[in-house]
Structure formats: structure tokens, C-alpha cells
Amino acid sequence: MLRFIARRLFAGLATLFVSTFLMYLLVSVSIRPLDDLIESSAPNKQQLIAQRTELLDLNTPVIVRFFKWLASFVQGDFGTAWRTGQHVNSQLGTAMVSTIQLVLAASVLAIILGVGVGIISALRQYSTFDYIITFTSFLLYSLPAFWVAVLLKQWGAIGFNDFLKDPYLSALGIAGMAVIFGVLWMLAVGGDARRRLINFAGAAGITAALYTYLQVSNWWLEPNINPILLAVLGAGAAVGFTLLSTGLRNRRALGAAGTTVVIGVIAYFPLQYVFYNESFNWWWLLGLAALAAGIGILIGRLWGGPDWRQSSRAAALTAITMGGLTFVDQAMLYWGDYLKMSQIRGRPIATVGDRTPNLGGDFWISTLDTYTHLLLPTVALMLISFAAYTRYSRASMLEVMNQDYIRTARAKGLTERTVVMRHAFRNSLIPLATIVPMDLVAVFGGAIITEQVFGRPGMGQLFVKSLSMAEIDPVMAYLVVTAALAVLANIVADLIYAALDPRIRVNS
């Protein structure tokens, strides 16, 4: 393993060096930092040209300039944007934080939803649900990113902000949403007529009850997840994770997940004192998430049994979910204060930038502001990526389900859940092991249109702005970071391959 990683890193560094050299030559030829002075009518034009030539060291051969730049780059000095005088290190740091927030949120949601919906679509092949998902995914994949972003600005920001002035849902609207979700759930689960009717009634009833609760509790202006709702959502997560992981017949796993829910509800109250700590920050949050996962694993181990690892997995996922809901609840408590701030003016969903200027406030106000600015661009990227992952996962699952070992597993009498989750699901992820890492790199370096429409100062905007201003140092920093991530993505894809398929050995 270590030899493989070392060999791939060495090959990656060699590739990165050659590609960086070629990119430096191409960028040096493509940008023309003297054009504005050449076209100038200033009386001291020649003097200005000479000064800028000396500033940018343009009289030095480009190959020598490359090695000078490379020597500084490997020492951590990424250069300076000569027009603004800003250090590239600070520019790159700000842009990377903004882009990582966007890419991480959009990619995680797109992968989870896309893979899940794609697998269900494959299992329900040629059904009405499959046709709906196929049509929807092709439609979303075909839509221009800028058009999706503009629609989200109109309906997701302006429309929702107007709705918050008088948040009222009519009975007809609630009934319509209940019917839509009931039909979708009925089509996704399938079965005979009686089962379809039960699934429709259950999903429609739950949806109607949820929207009615949001309406009568004034949730839109005073959102919260109280301990009762936390227990209900946690119980649903426990059942869901146990069902997917081991099946509900595994009483130890179900008991471990249920115990985690009870402990999570009890921990809700002392956690309030932790959240109110003025020094609370993201490091605290990461520590609490790790602690929650550890407690879940411990609970699964204490329940014991020969399959305690499965119990631990279900309990750990439930614990992380409970912790996440508790964190969201705490952030929601500040929603009213956030709406009343003079910079927000009751219109929280932002359409431009990654933060509200001069907002002030503590950790929770800052967190709300970050996520309200992140919402629309995340949805824009997620919709397009969701469509692609849905198609990939559907095609991969269909191919796997037709393999001989799937028929053998069914012939042995295994349940359909075991066949799908234990034998088919893992193998269906192998093609995605190559697609997902490279897509992450592509989105990281190429969310230019989305960042432009929503005015986010990310990596794509840094590249476009620097290229238009003929600043080679920021452009090269962007290209090197993107190329390095591409090299790492290939290595990670190989390691994921080996983890998913035991026939693949990375040390061979």
C-alpha cells in the first residue's frame, strides 16, 4: 500500500511539474500585461512601459521566469497580484474557503440523493417512477447553469422572502403537496394495489400533518426542533439506518440505534449550556460530532452479539444525525434575531456574495448568514450534479443486478434487502469511484458560472478576474491547485476501488 502511494505520488509530482511548466508557457503567451499602456496616449508612455516591464521582469526569458516563480511557489510564496498589490496567498485562501463551502455542501447532497434515487429507479425499472426520474434527470442535466441560477434567485430568494412577510399556507396548497409526496412515495415503493394505497395514504397524511404543524406553530418565523420533534425524527433515522444496514429483524442493531435516540434526547438539555459558551466555534462542533460517533460505536459494542459492528454502524449514524438536528435546532433559535437585523431587513435568503457586509453578531448569527448565502448556489449545483449521479448509479445498478452472483444470492434464499444492500449496492459504487473524485475537482475549479451569477468570490471568479487583468501569479496558483487536486483525485479513486472490490490490489 505505502509503496503504491509513494509510486503514484512520485508519478503525480512529475506530471504536475510538466503540466505546470506547459501552463506557465501558455499563460505567459496568452496574457498581455502591456496592452493597456501600448494603446495609451499618455505622454510618458514609454517610461510607464519600461517601469511595468521591470516590475514584471518581462525582459527575462520565460523559462527563467518559470523557475524563479517555481522556487518561490514551493517555499509557500504564491506571488503578488501586481495590479492590486494583494498577496496571492490571501486571495487563494479566501477563494478556496468560499469554493470548499459550496462544493462540499452541493456534492454531498447530490451524491446522497442522486445515488439513492438512481438505485431506487433501477430497482423499479420501467415503472412510472423510473420514467419520471429518467425524464427529470435528463431535464435537469440539460438545463443551463445560469438559467437555473436565475430561476432560483426569482423563486427561491425573492419569492420566499416575500412569503416571509405573511407566511401562510392555504389548505388547498397543503393538500396539493400531500398528494404530490403521496404519489411519489407510492410509485417509489411499488407493490400491489393495496400496498400502494396504504403507502399513498401514509405519505400524504404525514406530509399534510407536517405542513399543518409548520403553519399553526408559526414555524417559518420561529423555527425550532424541540425535544419531542427531535425524538420523532431521531426514531425515524434509527429505523431507516437499521433497515438499510441490517434489516429490522436484527434486534440488537435496532436496540442500539433506539438507545442512541434516547441518549440524544437526554443530551439535548446539557448541550444547550455548551452551545451558549461564547468560545463555541467549528472546532467545538467537530469535536462534538466525533464524540457522538464514538458514543454510537460504544453503544453498538455494548449491545454485543456476533454482528456488533453492524449495530455500531447503525448507532453511530443515528448519533451523528441526532447531533446534527440538535445543532440545527440551536441555530434556529437565532432566526428571529437574524431577521430583525438592520442589514437583513426581514429578507434572509441572499442572492449575491458569501456573507453580509458589516453584519456582526456571534457564532450563530454568522453561521446563519453563511448558510443563507450558501443556499441558492448549493441548490443550483446540486440539481445538475444530482441528475448526473442519478443516471450513473441507475445504469451501474442495472448492470450489477443482471450478474450471475445476484441470481445465485437470490437462489440461496437471501432476502431482497440483503441481496441489494450486501451484494449489489457495494459493487454498483465501483464506477462512481472514478466519476465522483474527478467531478469534485471539476466543480472545485469550474463552478465559474454559478459563482458569477451569485457573486461568490470563489476559485472560478479568482481565475476569471486574474486572467482578465493579466495577473499571472493568481492564474498559476489556481491552475496548480486544480491540477494537484486532479492528481490526488486519481490516487483516491484507485484506493476507493481497492476498498470496494477485494479483487483489486493496489500493491500489485
Tell me which of 249 and 179 has the higher pLDDT.
179
pLDDT of residue 502: 67
Alpha-carbon 359 to chain mean position:
26
DSSP letter, residue 70:
H
pLDDT of residue 197: 93
Q: What local confidence, expressed as pLDDT, does residue 445 receive?
A: 65
Say if residues 470 and 32 touch (Cβ distance below 8 Å).
yes
Strand stretches in 306-345, DSSP E: none
Given a cut of 60, whether residue 508 has pLDDT beyond it is: no
What is the pLDDT of the chain when averaged over all its residues? 88
How high is the pLDDT of residue 325?
Answer: 94
Residue 245 main-chain phi, psi, to 5 deg = -80, -50
pLDDT (mean) for 466-475 = 89
Gyration radius (Cα) of the chain, Å: 27
Cell triple for residue 335? Answer: 432566526
Q: Specify the pTM.
A: 0.86
What spatial distance separates the first Cα and last Cα of the chain, rounded to whole Å? 9
| Mean pLDDT, residues 259-286 | 91
Distance (Å, whole) CA 275 – CA 284: 9
By the 10 Å C-beta count (0-12 exposed, 13-18 middle, 19+ buried), 141 is classed as middle
Q: What is the pLDDT of residues 53-73, one digit of tens each?
A: 888 888 888 999 999 999 998
Q: What percentage of the chain carries pLDDT values higher than 70?
A: 98
Please tell me whether residue 80 adopts helix, strand or coil conformation: strand
Tracing cell 452541493 back to the chain, one arrives at 106
Rounded-to-integer distance, Cα 348 and Cα 368, Å:
9
Reply yes or no on whether the pLDDT at 344 is more than 70.
yes
pLDDT of residue 310: 86
Mean pLDDT of 99-126: 89
